[in-house]
Structure 1
Amino acid sequence: MSSYYTADELLVAYLDNQLDPQQRRSLEQRLADEPALADRLSLLERSNLPFKQAFAPLLDEAPAQRLQARWPLATPAPQRGVSRRALIAAAVGFLALGVAGDRAWLQASQPEDNWRGLVAQYMALYTPETLAGFDSSPALLASQLQYTGERLGIALPAPKLALNGAELKNARVLAYDDRRIAQLTWLDARFGPLALCIIQQSGKPESAQSERRQGMNVVYWADGSHSFMLIGHNPAAEMTALAERLQGSLSV
């Protein structure tokens, strides 16, 4: 990954777990020293949206010249043309007020336990092309899984997350009503994007249950310290089998 970033590009890459360890450490030092940068990160993090995925279909048709004119890069980018990171950052800035408004509406209209509905809304935007551009090298995945697991208080070893017919593509931390959501995404060779989402939630363990949201099959359960949700276009019976495997693999 190029080391060149504008501020918003860097923050989006940080939220998307796309920085290497050295870049992450450098940014975290800057966040400690620069309150304005930390405030900007807080704004993006609280917006609840996975920016790279949410904007990917729009960026394919984005008015690049208009975005570049409105948010010119500080210095010429070394690569040819405008980078997808630059367009993402520009789109984030352009839509910031709308994102904040959407978040306020979601907070007012969604019950506390309906985080699954929010997940289903943005998962409905995913296509195989959404996940095609991820760097899913073992080293980067291991770093993402460790970071995501630490933020959610759960071990996420890559070998226990292997699913037949699906490639693990990335792990990230999202936000919902100031609560963290871990999102692990796979690309199933037959049925497309598949995601396991996790929140910290104490309470009684709950056995797996099934439902449909946004035209996708969902299996959800809880282990007493976390709630889990597996969502995808796989048939219901296959989703149940995959959920059973993950439930067994991630049990303490």
Structure 2
Amino acid sequence: MSSYYAADELLVAYLDNQLDPQQRRSLEQRLADEPALAARLALLERSSLPFKQAFAPLLDDAPVLQLQDRWPLAVPVPQRGISRRVLIAAAVGILALGVAGDRAWQHVNQPEDNWRGLVAQYMALYTPETLAGFEGSPAQLASQLQHTSERLGIALPAPKLALKGAELKNARVLAYDDRRIAQLTWLDARFGPLALCIIQQPGKPEAAQSERRQGMNVVYWADGSHSFMLIGHNPATEMATLAERLQRSLSV
């Protein structure tokens, strides 16, 4: 747990522009190389989440000494207040310990579209250069699709994932809380990174709906066992067409 806390504090310092140039370059290299760390950054970047309100009623009951012993701070905390950096890192840590209780969870674990928000912030880090280095062989891509298919319980045949004007670059499994998110990424020749993300989420089938997140267009739907999210910089009408094709292909 202590390593998670240290990473969270470093990431919040990055978001607050509190790192020196060398530290910032070093962290940005890690973000490019470590998908899990980049996903963690996206989680912490959701500054609109009401961490302060969620945890305010719990401050008197928080096991401060226990937390300090378990997670010593890398920098002194001013006695007159708590910085955003320490507050967010500690809040995430407290959630991980499970000492926050239902009141905090109700504030922080808001609607089920949280996973779409997390994916959008993660995808905002992508550029065409991010995907330019993925030049795997057809056999490697087939292996990735097979692995992703097995982990998510959904068939992902490569021929049914072909999109006009976009090259499928990779398939992998990310983590969101204790759940897995499949991410299939294309490089669109005109609009850049494009991704289909899938999460196992039993429930009622839902027709495709559109929204915008992080300056990108999103189309999302559900088939009763999985929820899907297509996200990219393509125009909204084109995204709807691509989503319709994928929805039709993956339902067979």
TM over 0.5: yes
Aligned to 1:136: 136
* Separation (CA, whole Å) in 1 of partners of 2:91 and 2:173: 17
Shift of 1:177: 1.4
Aligned to 2:239: 239
Give the percent of matched residue pairs that are identical in Structure 1 and Structure 2: 75
Output one character per residue of 1:60-106: Cα deviation in whole Å (capped at 9) or x when no partner. Answer: x967x989xxxxxxxxxxxxxxxx88x947x96xx99x979499289
Aligned to 1:202: 202
Aligned to 1:113: 112
Shift of 1:109: 2.5
Output one character per residue of 1:4-50: Cα deviation in whole Å (capped at 9) or x when no partner. Answer: xxxxxxxxxxxxxxxxxxxxxxxxxxxxxxxxxxx9xxx89xx9xxx
Cα distance, 1:88–1:215 mapped onto 2, change above 3 Å: closer
Output one character per residue of 1:142-173: Cα deviation in whole Å (capped at 9) or x when no partner. Answer: 00000001000000000000000000000000
User: 1:91-240 alignment to 2 at 5 Å?
Assistant: 101=89, 104=92, 109-114=108-113, 115-240=115-240
Look at both structures and tell me which one has the larger radius of gyration over its CA atoms.
2
Cα distance, 1:101–1:149 mapped onto 2, change above 3 Å: farther
CA RMSD of aligned residues (A): 3.6
Letter in 2 for 1:237: T
Letter in 1 for 2:132: A
* Separation (CA, whole Å) in 1 of partners of 2:138 and 2:153: 22
> What is the TM-score normalised by the length of structure 1?
0.61
Output one character per residue of 1:182-227: Cα deviation in whole Å (capped at 9) or x when no partner. Answer: 0000000000000000000111111100000110000000000000
Cα distance, 1:225–1:129 mapped onto 2, change above 3 Å: same
Long gaps (5+) in structure 1: 1-38, 48-60, 68-83
Output one character per residue of 1:98-130: Cα deviation in whole Å (capped at 9) or x when no partner. Answer: 979499289762425021111101111110001
> What is the TM-score normalised by the length of structure 2?
0.61
* Separation (CA, whole Å) in 2 of partners of 1:184 and 1:102: 33
Aligned to 1:58: none
* Separation (CA, whole Å) in 2 of partners of 1:174 and 1:242: 23
Shift of 1:134: 1.2
* Separation (CA, whole Å) in 2 of partners of 1:202 and 1:173: 18
For the residue of structure 2 that corresponds to 1:241, the secondary structure is helix
How many residues matched?
177
For the residue of structure 1 that corresponds to 2:244, the secondary structure is helix
Shift of 1:137: 1.6
* Separation (CA, whole Å) in 1 of partners of 2:33 and 2:232: 25
Detail structure 1 runs of 4+ shifted over 4 Å in the superposition: 105-108
* Separation (CA, whole Å) in 2 of partners of 1:66 and 1:163: 36
Aligned to 2:62: none
Q: Is the 8 A contact 1:136 1:168 kept in 2?
A: no
Q: Is the 8 A contact 1:219 1:230 kept in 2?
A: yes
Letter in 2 for 1:135: E
* Separation (CA, whole Å) in 2 of partners of 1:230 and 1:244: 10
* Separation (CA, whole Å) in 1 of partners of 2:208 and 2:236: 13
Letter in 2 for 1:109: V
User: 1:69-84 alignment to 2 at 5 Å?
Assistant: none
For the residue of structure 2 that corresponds to 1:242, the secondary structure is helix
Asked which structure has the greater RCO (Cα within 8 Å, sep 6+), the reply is 1
* Separation (CA, whole Å) in 1 of partners of 2:109 and 2:134: 31
